[in-house]
Structure 1
Amino acid sequence: MADAAQDPKNERIGLVEKLGYGIGDLPSGLYLNFFGAYLLYFFVDLGGVAPAAMALMLLLSRVFDAITDPVMGVISDRTRTRWGRYRPYILFGALPFGLTGFAIFAAPDMSPGWLLVWAYVTYGLTMLAFTGVNVPYSGLLGVISPSTKQRANVTAYRMFFSGFAGIMVGVLATTLIRELGGDDEARGIMMTMGVFAALSVVIYIITFATTKERIPAVTTNTAVKRDLTTLLRTTAWIAVVIAAIFGVLSIASRASSARFFFKYVAGDDGAPVFLFLDRFGLFLTALAIGQISGVILGLRLQRRVEKSHLIIAGGIMKMLGIIAFSFVPLDAVWPQTLAQYVVGVGFGFLMVLSFSMFTDIAEYIEWKSGQQMTGLTVSASIFGVKVGTGLGAFAPGIALELTGFDPGVEQTAQSLAGINFAFAILPALALLPAAGAMIFYRLTHATMERVEHDMAARRLDEARSLQ
Structure 2
Amino acid sequence: MGNFSFSYRNRPKSDRIGFGEYLCYGLGDLSFCFIYGAIGSYMVFFYTDVACISAGLVGTILLFSKIFDGISDMLMGVVIENVHSPLGKARPWLFWMLIPYCAGSVMLFTVPDLPEIGRAIYAFISYNLMATVFFTSMNVPYGVLSSVMTNRQNERAILSISRASLGALGVFLISSYAPDMVEWPGGGAAGWQKTFLVVGLVSVVLFLITFLGCKERVGSGVREQQTGRRTSLSLAQGVRILFANKYWFIMLLVNIFYTAMTSLYGMNLYFAKYIMQEEGRNRAMMMCSTAASILVPLLIIPIVQKIGKRNVALYGGAGLGLLGQLLLIFTAERSLLLMYVALTIRGMGVACISATKFGMIADSIEYGEYRTGTRAEGFVYSAASLGVRFGSAFALACIGWVLGAFGYDGSLAVQSESAMQGIRIMFYAAPLVVFAALLFLLIRYRLDKEYDGIMAVLEERHRQENLTT
TM-score by shorter chain over 0.5: yes
Local SS of the residue matching 2:413 = coil
Q: Is the 8 A contact 2:245 2:367 kept in 1?
A: no
Equivalent residues of 1:293, 1:345 under 8 A apart = no
Cα separation, 2, equivalents of 1:264 and 1:6: 55
Letter in 1 for 2:24: G
Q: Classify the secondary structure of the residue corresponding to 1:302.
A: helix
Deviations 1:9-56 (A, max 9, x none): 966302221111111111221111111121111111222211111111
Correspondence 1:293 to 2:295: yes
Does residue 260 in structure 1 map to residue 265 in structure 2? no
Could you tell me which runs of 5 or more consecutive residues in structure 2 were left unpaired when the two chains were aligned: none
Residue type of the alignment partner of 1:35: I
The Cα offsets for residues 77-126 of structure 1, whole Å up to 9 and x where unpaired, read as 22221101111111111211111121121222322211111100100000
Task: Map residues 179-328 of structure 1 onto 2, 5 A cutoff.
Answer: 179-181=184-186, 184-215=187-218, 216-217=222-223, 219=229, 220-253=231-264, 255-270=265-280, 279-313=281-315, 314-328=317-331
Kindly provide the amino acid, as one letter, of the partner of residue 256 in structure 2: I
Amino acid at match of 2:71: I
- The AA in structure 1 aligned to 2:439 is A
Is contact 1:73-1:135 (8 Å) kept?
Answer: yes
Distance 2:8 2:176 in 1: 46
Query: Which secondary structure does the structure 2 equivalent of 1:430 belong to?
Result: helix
Matched residue SS, 1:146:
coil
CA-CA distance at 1:457 after TM superposition: 4.8
User: Is the Cα contact below 8 Å between 1:295 and 1:352 reproduced in 2?
Assistant: yes
Distance in 1 between residues matched to 2:433 and 2:20, nearest whole Å: 41
Alpha-carbon distance, 1:280 to partner:
1.1
- Alignment of structure 1 residues 7-18 onto 2, 5 Å: 7=9, 12-18=16-22
Identity of matched residues, %: 24
| Letter of the structure 2 residue corresponding to residue 100 of structure 1 | G
CA distance in 2: counterparts of 1:307 and 1:206, whole angstroms? 28
Distance between the aligned counterparts of 2:95 and 2:180, measured in 1? 31
- Taking structure 1 as reference, are residues 88 and 315 closer, same or farther at Cα in structure 2, changes over 3 Å only? same
Q: CA deviation at 1:419?
A: 0.6
Please state whether the residue corresponding to 2:184 is helix, strand or coil.
helix
Q: 2:142 aligns to what?
A: 137
Once residues 10 and 59 of structure 2 are traced to their aligned partners in structure 1, the CA distance between those partners, rounded to angstroms, is 46
| Structure 1 position 334 matched with structure 2 position 344 | no
Alignment partners' CA distance in 1, 2:177 and 2:70: 32
Which of 166, 172, 179 in structure 2 is aligned with 1:174? 179
Contact 2:260 2:391 in 1 (8 A): yes
- Write the mapping of 1:380-391 to structure 2, written as runs, cut at 5 A: 380-391=383-394
d(CA) in 2 for partners of 1:417 and 1:339?
Answer: 21
> 1:299·1:352 contact (CA, 8 Å) conserved in 2?
no
- Report if aligned partners of 1:295, 1:345 keep a CA contact under 8 Å in 2: no
Alignment of 1:424-463 (within 5 A): 424-445=428-449, 447-459=450-462
Structure 1 contact 104–118 (Cα < 8 Å) conserved? no
How many angstroms does 1:177 deviate by?
Answer: 1.9
Q: How do residues 13-52 of structure 1 correspond to structure 2 at under 5 angstroms?
A: 13-52=17-56
1:118 to 122, 131, 134: 122
Choose the corresponding residue for 2:356, options 353, 356, 373. Answer: 353
User: Which residues of structure 1 form unaligned runs of 5+?
Assistant: 271-278
Residue 73 of structure 1 pairs with residue 83 of structure 2? no
CA contact (8 A) 1:403 1:418 kept: yes
Residues 8, 147 of structure 1: 8 Å contact kept: no
Distance 1:315 1:171 in 2: 24
Compute the displacement of 1:264 (Å).
0.8
Return the alpha-carbon distance in structure 2 between the equivalents of residues 59 and 440 of structure 1.
Answer: 29
Equivalent of residue 426 in structure 2, options 411, 422, 437: 422
In structure 2, what is the Cα distance between the partners aligned to 1:107 and 1:22? Answer: 32
Structure 2 SS opposite 1:37: helix
In 2: Cα distance, 1:374 partner to 1:390 partner: 25
Seen in structure 2, the aligned counterparts of structure 1 residues 80 and 217 have a Cα distance that, compared at 3 Å, is farther
| Counterpart among 59, 62, 65 of residue 63 in structure 2 | 59
Aligned-residue Cα RMSD (Å) equals: 2.2
Measure, in 1, the Cα distance between the counterparts of 2:305 and 2:127.
40
